[in-house]
Structure 1
């Protein structure tokens, strides 16, 4: 367990989710509720309050190590909450120093103004919001990681930090703004990823895969026993399948009657299909063979509601056992954890400064996690092979501005997830290469990887082997499904895990079918959990001196983001797909404005917001002056708002709504956000020059630390760019390094 004393002030969703992470890993989390604060539905409350205790007197909170809240210092003081020497982690929708600082928190508006919303949904309909409370929980997960980094800094230096996490910045940091810069056009909505991944019917179920790809289509025909000659001509080409996924789905449906989607999924995976996911409703997760075999779900035994399945942990940690699961209890008792963070000093260093991470990860989830750690100050050394580099170096490549640029160094996707790292290239298939890797790891604190199980063991770089040469080492291994269970050897990515984890079942228009989200964002979202578990292990080592093995998976990381929906499904057997609507706010949606594919997002949190909106758009406020009345008339209300918005330019509609006191934001694309005033005034997208790609605007940091300045010091490394530098640092002399280059054990690929 991580025995910290954590005070959570208020029940804002992001704050509550951040506090939940501490509680589930064993911290003593005391919840001090804000008088009059609006609450969530009962199931969401039960999910977010597990392993916490409720206190009613501010005095009971004295002596906290960490304080998590959305409130300002003045507001805390008004409640009688003294921060003392606590590390304060404030989670806000917009940065404190931004032009929108103090604007009300509505997750839909964060999606809209960050560029995230505009990439999700169908091209012929309005942009589509993320399902459930996903956006708020993403922000909470990011804040959890930043708070842990500040805890590590205090344990290492004694300095007490104050951290502020901006929700808008968290969501913007995941969007593909960099690759859109290189492409010269913003990513758009395609009804799923632009690659062609969609949900397709097979028998009575669905699967998520890319049938625009010829090899996948041929394999699928073989598994279903469909003669290629029976494929209609317009579906027998890549362009035809990509252009009409509906017709392709009908063809599959009519040719798979009586078949099992699960059997099809397994057959495809066993034949080596690179990526395919089985579509599952949240209720199906509870009986899924892999989740059952791995014992993933736990039970929340609530005296009032009875035993309820509860999502498990994102990773197994060899030295940290989560405490038993309990419902929230009323408690005026003192702290259950000891004072672990006494002392108060000044260091001004970045939170992870002095931590070295040897990073074997590839593609998005792992590099996203290690970029977060690099941005927090860690020395991250990315290890690739010059013979077989990170697969994302082959993705979304663009001719470089340098005439001699090598194609492996001009990938937009690679560049978006590898800044602030050094790069080294080693051939691990050679014993000398593995020796070089071990010498590097002797100097490290953490080793990260995201291969399918067994790869690091094959290279002799598994935890047991590395602990024999570096007893304090922390190894962090993530994969699609973990190291045990029937799916352990299956490959995965963001789109396939979305389907498997129940997200796609909740994502879609209220009057339509389930859909795949727009840009594989599950990778980055679960990457936040990978980063957080790395930091948990680091904090544990700070407290005990022990290294450990951390083994996590995308599926185990994904399910807790919709935890209350899984609990709800266990009780009712089903879930509602809300589309852009919301269970607690009416209206809540995305509305057209003047111009092609131009939209605004707008929401009324309560009756007061509704009164203001009704006056603005000319509706009868009193006729629908309750949530239930507005719910019954939601179609009419949405139509009336759309009539008002569509005859106004986007900026005018937003300005008029905001001036009236109605929460609203423009739906921006991922290039427009670069100059959106909230970002531009803070210079949040600074320009950084890459040797081959030229000047590009990279994202800023979602967190601000009171006593440390984060910096983007390095552009993404070219393949093996720092090989000689790093090997010299770890003690190899020039002749040894020259010999390794000569024998092709290590390499550097910079182009001509």
Structure 2
């Protein structure tokens, strides 16, 4: 994306977006659209959004979270409990393209913003609802909360040490992933509207997003019959160990054993693979070295080792500095978003300005031309062709999302080096031993695609790729930087044959910079991005999402698909979308980065506690491994909790008292939950009006009707595969066809290419 433009865009082609937000997810979705140059009007209640004055504050008394998440928006004050306020909202929605809302069902009924109400009153409007559990679920009357979402969706059961409490990922990750899904849904709905499909309502539930991210656990549960659990950072094949000045993650594959021995100067017995013998040796070796030195040595050997970067490390990091990731303070002293765009692309603008002052917007929107009447068109991406060079998760999962919504996705593989996920073992079972020809991991990320084999080291197959690219709309790749150039599949080469390509690179650290060629997996990026530094127990070290989840890969695929859909909808062509997965995850920590820049304090893990809510944690219930999460964002929640668990001690206490006595409150809550089964805790808390969620395992999640009904996963038994991250009221994607065998569609695809070549008019021989 281009350097930031601090001024209002004033682009007559810009989208008009109305935002009704109280939670992080909707704010982030609005922030993405505002950063991309669109007109986003934040509708605030009298007195302003609560996050405007929520500590920590900048020098002007503005909350740093508000300054980070609401940058470049405009503000309108509208009291939706009054006729005048609803009239103001109606005036905006009559002229808007998109509504972003996180109103729960009760509030939505009160102000006339149910799904049916939206479609009746504004048939051309695209509405994106991002709530806790879905637009119609009463649990969504509580604010969307990443901890509750990650517990309800089963993700929290996979994060943390196996003998300790489940953890939420640091920095509101379910909310950010939900925002990426919301942006994808908005673009799909807008594209469908432009093609004659009318408006639509996109329904994003944060608990579904968490479950979608944890899709690997669904697969393993279905294949092995038992749910996986968290492995933490101190057990398993990969581990986080101490360095002289911090922490490093030791990440390698079994066939890299010799490289690991070389890394630690040959001090691990070559004949031994017993962790009891070799992990202590590695730990002693790493403890004597700076964390970055361990990282540099390992990367030089081709090992995807990462060091745990905290936010202070990142602000001085050469890779980030070379790419201009962090933003300097404004001359006028107003706090702005502290980070640049979540992706780089020449020709795609990005703004990093200040947040709005209360009520600063003029209601100057003129009436929009009515959208075309519905013509029965179904799939939003019908007619789009994608060349998918992606592998494993990030690239391949992006292609799967585009295929789900109607694109023709051609998966290009090498016969000698196919996608490694084809033979990825699941729960100790390799393909061929479990009745399946390919790994269900591959099936989940590649369902609905066509399969061809091209050996790009040969001139003839390079030429075939170029002919395919000449007729494609999108190319996706997530190779190590430099590989596509060697194979003749890089952006510049393919743009020469098709100047209209949207080319998405999902690399570890971006296409440029001193560390661009580094190797990584999701766990590496957990560490390098700063996410691990703010995830973990308050009394411990950093924590990652682990190889069982690989959260950065999942977030990158949602964002990558959203960015491609954005370019297709807005007519942005001939563009190279450079997504650094490391930077994308750091971008989700913008509010913590702003706090660090303002105060100098380096954030550390806080367990499940978060600013703005108390109590906010998981508590053990009666029964082995049973937990319930509680998140009180409002005083009414705390009052309801007081009356349920300890009225004599807690009734009538002020909000400040609750903050000052968190330890006592935790003791009282835990005493109450330990005495009851989890189901009884959930029933009582829900009945009292306290926001809560059970901490589900993957097996328990699989038995929950809501996840099946909303198609978060598909199939039964060993045929289980990943489903869809959200629902659309006007379009339901069909179940995808099985993933292709290697080269399965070679003949059909190449025959079609010959037919297209024959249909082309004669062109100068100089055409590539």
Question: SS at the partner of 1:620?
Answer: helix
Superposed displacement of residue 213, structure 1:
5.1
Matched, 1:252 2:282: no
Matched, 1:47 2:80: no
Contact 2:26 2:179 in 1 (8 A): yes
Distance in 2 of aligned mates of 1:682 and 1:346: 26
Distance in 1 of aligned mates of 2:310 and 2:656: 28
Superposed displacement of residue 552, structure 1:
1.8
Question: SS at the partner of 1:595?
Answer: coil
Question: SS at the partner of 1:423?
Answer: strand
Match of 2:301 among 271, 274, 279: 271
Equivalence for 2:207: 168
Matches within 5 A, 1:19-30: 19-30=30-41
* 1:76-96 CA-partner distances (Å, limit 9, x unpaired): 448999747322112222134
Matched, 1:722 2:745: yes
Match of 1:473 among 501, 519, 532: 501
Change (3 A) 1:403 1:192: closer
Superposed displacement of residue 698, structure 1:
3.0
Change (3 A) 1:11 1:264: same
Change (3 A) 1:76 1:87: farther
Contact 1:686 1:698 in 2 (8 A): yes
* 1:104-163 CA-partner distances (Å, limit 9, x unpaired): 533322111111010111111111111122221211111111111222222333632222
Distance in 1 of aligned mates of 2:256 and 2:41: 54
Distance in 2 of aligned mates of 1:422 and 1:335: 48
Contact 1:508 1:579 in 2 (8 A): yes
Equivalence for 1:668: 696
Question: 5+ residue gaps in structure 1?
Answer: 689-693, 734-752
Contact 2:239 2:251 in 1 (8 A): yes
Matched, 1:17 2:28: yes
Match of 1:56 among 77, 89, 107: 77
Distance in 2 of aligned mates of 1:101 and 1:571: 34
Distance in 2 of aligned mates of 1:241 and 1:652: 46
Question: Larger deviation: 168-177 or 346-355?
Answer: 346-355
Contact 1:381 1:421 in 2 (8 A): yes
Superposed displacement of residue 587, structure 1:
1.5
Matches within 5 A, 1:189-208: 189-192=230-233, 196-208=237-249
Equivalence for 2:330: 301
Matches within 5 A, 1:605-616: 605-616=633-644
Distance in 1 of aligned mates of 2:140 and 2:596: 37
Match of 2:380 among 339, 346, 351: 351
Change (3 A) 1:424 1:222: closer
Equivalence for 1:742: none
Q: Aligned residues, how many?
A: 710
Distance in 2 of aligned mates of 1:452 and 1:111: 31
Change (3 A) 1:303 1:159: same
Contact 1:10 1:34 in 2 (8 A): no
Distance in 2 of aligned mates of 1:368 and 1:241: 38
Change (3 A) 1:199 1:572: farther
* 1:658-681 CA-partner distances (Å, limit 9, x unpaired): 122222221111121111133355
Matched, 1:597 2:628: no
Match of 2:276 among 240, 243, 254: 240
Distance in 2 of aligned mates of 1:510 and 1:594: 24
Q: Give the aligned CA root-mean-square deviation in angstroms.
A: 3.1
Question: Larger deviation: 547-556 or 102-111?
Answer: 102-111
Change (3 A) 1:382 1:338: farther
Matched, 1:140 2:172: no
Question: SS at the partner of 1:484?
Answer: coil
Change (3 A) 1:34 1:196: farther
Matched, 1:111 2:150: yes
Distance in 2 of aligned mates of 1:340 and 1:323: 27
Superposed displacement of residue 384, structure 1:
0.9
Equivalence for 2:766: none
Question: SS at the partner of 1:317?
Answer: coil
TM-score calculated relative to the size of structure 1? 0.87
Equivalence for 2:225: 184
Superposed displacement of residue 430, structure 1:
1.9
Question: 5+ residue gaps in structure 2?
Answer: 1-8, 56-62, 79-87, 757-768
* 1:693-714 CA-partner distances (Å, limit 9, x unpaired): x852334423222322212221
Question: SS at the partner of 2:344?
Answer: strand
Distance in 2 of aligned mates of 1:183 and 1:121: 22
Distance in 2 of aligned mates of 1:472 and 1:253: 49
Distance in 1 of aligned mates of 2:752 and 2:234: 42
Distance in 1 of aligned mates of 2:565 and 2:433: 41
* 1:210-248 CA-partner distances (Å, limit 9, x unpaired): 3795846x646645657447x9x9xx6343269xx6x56
Superposed displacement of residue 556, structure 1:
2.0
Contact 2:263 2:301 in 1 (8 A): no
* 1:156-210 CA-partner distances (Å, limit 9, x unpaired): 3363222221222111111121233112221111114975322222221322223
Contact 1:197 1:516 in 2 (8 A): no
* 1:260-299 CA-partner distances (Å, limit 9, x unpaired): 22122112212222x1112111122111011112222223
Distance in 2 of aligned mates of 1:405 and 1:613: 50
* 1:588-637 CA-partner distances (Å, limit 9, x unpaired): 11111222211111222222222222222235354672233123222222
Superposed displacement of residue 438, structure 1:
2.2
Distance in 2 of aligned mates of 1:357 and 1:469: 15
